[in-house]
Every structure is written in C-alpha cells, then in structure tokens.
Structure 1
Amino acid sequence: MSAAPDTPVVFIHIAKTAGTSLTRVLQEHLPADRLAVRTHRPLATLPTADHARTVAVIREPLDRLVSAFAWLGGRPSVLWRGAVGNPDLAAELGLDRFAGPADFLDHFDAFYDDHVRPWADGLAAADRRLGDLMAFGHFNLFVPQHRYLVDARDDLAVGHLLRFEHLADDTAAWLDRVAPGHGPIVWPHLYPSRREPAAALASPRALAAVRDIYAADYALPGMAPSPAPIAAREPSPGLPPLARAVARAAAA
C-alpha cells in the first residue's frame, strides 16, 4: 500500500532508522500540508483510518542496536567510558558500566529486561498513552521496531515499509508513486556512518539474544536477514587481505 498523489502522508519515524535524514528529504518533495512526521510515536496512537497512508523505515535490528549505543555514547549529554557528558543520565540509562559496544551486546539481554522491556510492553498495552512519552525517553532507541508499526490489535498496519539497507532506491520508488514528477533527491549526511559490520562485534551468545528479543522485527516484510554467527561467515571480500586473514583466524 502507498498513499495516492495529493493524499496526506504520515511518516512514522522509528529511532535510528535514518528518520531525521528522510524527514529532510520528504520535506523537500512533499508540501507541508501533505506530510506529518510522528517522531518515536507508535502507529497505534493514530486513528485507524490514517494507517493506510503511513510510511516507515525498518533496519536490521543488530545494526540498529549498535548504532543506538554508539549514538548515545557519543552524544555530549550522555556519558559512557571514554566520553564526557551527563553522569546522572548515563547512570539512568545504565550505559556507563559498559566498556564499549561489544561489552554492551554481551549483556544486552539483561539490559533489555531491566531498562527497555517496560517501555516496549507499554506500547503493547491497551492504554497507548505511553507512546506519547516515547519521544522524550532514550530507551525508545532500543524498543523493537514492530511496536511502532502495529495497530491496537497488534497487527502490522503500516501502509508502506522502506528498507534502511537500500533506502535511497526504496525512497525514490515510493516518491515516484506519491509525488510524481518530484525533483532530484539529495540526501543529507547528518551523522557519520559506522564502517565495521555490527555482527563483527557480537559473540554467538549475543547474536542469539538479539535474534530472540527482536524476533518480530526480523519477521517484518523485507527485513534484512538475521546475521550469521561470526564463525559461520566468510569475511567480506571488500576487506583488505590482512583484515581477511585476521577475521578467518578469529573465526577458526
């Protein structure tokens, strides 16, 4: 499904799915009266009649998880090892006790149960008012993506899903339908990209925990497949020869 030309569009902005960049793009190509952006608020808080005209971006869950940790750790207002920021907020988030992303992934299942699950369960509750608080909390970065995309019956109800992994192509194809004749799409580069694959940071145990916690995300239509354990993967041919040799030795 996708909105027809001249139909207002609602963009469901899920944290850490390039939503800020896509918002800029949509604002360039859709008139203000045709676009509403709902940042970190679930689709279930919209009237049912509005669901068919929604669009959202989905991202491979492990990649999104590592990106969220790196983003929080790098923000001036947040403190974790090696950064200077707000110790009280860091303690509230529980990030200050992790040495880095690999350590965070190794303990993510406990972190999720202690800190994130109450937010995720709140989105699934009959009373969706908690959704309005999601825009103001930082734990929303770790809430499963599907929680933002289901209706009050917990059924997937978003009109159209774009994939983070090939967002430029998906966005262009979707805009061709909702804004025929749109001009060239120029993507802003608001945040630096992480080059190393997220799966390279995760132990087999951590990968299993991520697959379990985000099982419903991995089941979303068009979602990138769950990464294989490091030992079962051939190093990327794009790596330099020495890096490939090191990766093979580590996997042996």
Structure 2
Amino acid sequence: MKRDFERKLPLYMSGLIKTCAPSKNPFTDACRNKETIFIHVPKNAGRSIYRSVFNEPGRHIQLKRYYIYDRCRASRYYKFAVVRDPVDRFVSAFNGLKGSGIGNGEYDKFVNENIDHFQDVSDFVDWMALSKCNVNKVLGWLHFYPQYKWISVVGDEIAVDRVLKFEFLQDDWPSFAKERGFSEKLSFVGKGVANYQSLSDFQIKFIRRVYSKDCQLFSY
C-alpha cells in the first residue's frame, strides 16, 4: 500500500523491471487501446473515472511507474488526473478509512493501528501536529500521499497533459470526455463528504502547511 516501488526505483531500470517484475506492468489492455493514462489519486473520484474511461475498477499507480516500465509509451500516451483541495481530501481520506479495516491485510493493519483509535479527524490532526515523525508516517500512506507526487516523474514538475479539479468535475467532465472520446457519464462512486466544521482554523492551516506544495501547484 505504501509507494516504495515508485519512490525508490530510478527511471533507467525499465529493462530490469520488465524482466524481473512483469506484474508491475501498469499498462492494461484498456489503457493501451485508448492510449490514455489516468492517474487515480486517492479520494478524487478515481473509481468513477476508471469506470467511465476504461470500464475497469480503479488502481492507485503513480505516473512514475509508467515511465519506469515503458518511458516511450508513457511519454506518447495522453495523461490526465484529478486533484482536490488538500484539506477536503484529507478529511475525506480519514473519514473513509476510519472503521474500514475488517481483515488482516496491510491496509487493515494500518487502519486499526493508525486511524481507528482517534475519535475523529480533529483528534487525528492534533496527533500529527505533535511531531515531524507523525507527519511523515501519515504522508507515507497512499491515501494521504501528496497529490503532486502522483503526477510528477522527476522532482515536482507536473507531467500529465491535463489536470482537472474535483470541485468542478461535474461541470467540466462532459466537455472533456466528449473531446477525448470518453463516456460523458460520471457516477462519482465513493464520493466523500468532508466536514470542515470539525476542524479549527489552526488545524486547517496546519494541513495546508503539510500540503503546501499541492496548494501552490494547484492554486488551493
């Protein structure tokens, strides 16, 4: 569930990955047929878009993995993503995770050990603010991973062709989908509703500091 694969491997290891880890191939048949890469940033209507574009369930894969696996193909394909107000996304991620760990896997372990014992998202933010270690622990989990890192390949340079905003997706999607030849229907499966009223001004400012690069790059 953590992004170790994308974070640690350099781009020049493409040949080795194809030979030794073919299961890491991010290019599905639908992706190849449409010559399109959609980066599913968690909590940003990704499942709805995957259904609309590829008729597939959503997958959380950083853009860097596509370049690691096949740089030429990744460069050639059309690439897009959806971003969201970092505070809104943070609250939605916490609320979506809380109480969802019902098995014994890595996901369930993370939820049980790091989410469920907090009363609410306000309590969670207060714990994060206690130390840099706590912040890094949270940011290492895919639901809280900074958005720009999903759609950059080197540094913080955004490497997709189009960035849509979650807040305007319902209005912007039909024309965008028509332009790209996608289905204009979007179900917003799993759309979360964040509750800003549960956060103090200090907590909101703290989250924005943690995600300062997202706020800067995407004008939030």
TM score, norm. by length of structure 1: 0.61
Letter in 2 for 1:60: D
Secondary structure, counterpart of 1:172 in structure 2: helix
RMSD across aligned positions (CA): 2.7
Following TM superposition, by how much is the alpha carbon of 1:18 offset from its aligned partner in structure 2, in angstroms? 0.7
Shift of 1:38: 7.6
CA shift, 1:77, in A, is: 1.8
Alignment partners' CA distance in 1, 2:42 and 2:179: 25
Q: Secondary structure at the match of 1:219?
A: helix
Which residue among 74, 83, 88 is the counterpart of 1:58? Answer: 83
Q: Does 1:211 align with 2:208?
A: yes
Counterpart-to-counterpart distance in 1, 2:156 and 2:40: 18
Alpha-carbon shift at residue 105 of structure 1 (Å): 2.5
| Larger relative helix fraction | 2
The letter for the 2-side match of 1:149 is I
Correspondent of 1:148 among 139, 147, 150: 150
In structure 2, C-alpha distance between the alignment counterparts of 1:189 and 1:39, rounded to whole Å: 15
Query: Could you tell me which residue of structure 2 aligns to residue 174 of structure 1?
Result: 176
Q: 1:26 aligns with which of 42, 53, 56?
A: 53
The 3-state SS of whatever aligns with 1:156 is: coil
Question: 1:15-74 CA distances to partner (integer Å, 9 max, x unpaired)?
Answer: 11110011111135xxx9xxxx88222112222442461111101111111111111114
Residue matched to 1:199: 196
TM-score (norm 2): 0.69
Cα shift readout 1:106-150 (whole Å, capped 9, x = no counterpart): 333347425134x3xxxxxxxxxxxxxxxxxxx200011001111
Superposed, 1:59-138 pairs within 5 Å as 59-75=84-100, 77=102, 88-92=109-113, 94-109=114-129, 110=131, 112-117=134-139, 119=140
Counterpart residue identity of residue 142, structure 2:
N
Identity of aligned residues (%): 26
User: Could you say if the C-alpha distance between residues 220 and 154 of structure 1 is closer, same or farther in structure 2, counting changes exceeding 3 Å?
Assistant: closer
Output the CA distance in 2 between the equivalents of 1:18 and 1:212: 24
Q: What SS does the aligned partner of 2:51 have?
A: helix
Gaps of 5+ in 1: 1-5, 79-85, 120-138, 226-252
Instruction: Say whether the 8 Å CA contact 2:122–2:199 is kept in structure 1.
Output: yes
Cα shift at 1:203: 1.2
Task: Give the CA deviation at 1:192.
Answer: 6.0
Residue type of the alignment partner of 1:17? N
Q: Cα distance 1:177–1:189, how it changes in 2: closer, same or farther (>3 A)? A: closer
Structure 2 residue ranges without an equivalent (≥5):
1-32
How many residues of Structure 1 are paired with residues of Structure 2 in the alignment?
Answer: 177
Indicate conservation of the 8 Å contact 2:40/2:61, yes or no: yes
Partner SS state of residue 156, structure 2: coil
What corresponds to 2:63 in structure 1? 43
State the alpha-carbon separation in 2 of the partners of residues 101 and 214 from structure 1: 16
Looking at structure 1, the residues matched to 84 and 212 of structure 2 have their Cα atoms a distance apart, in angstroms, of 13
Tell me the equivalent position of 2:39.
12
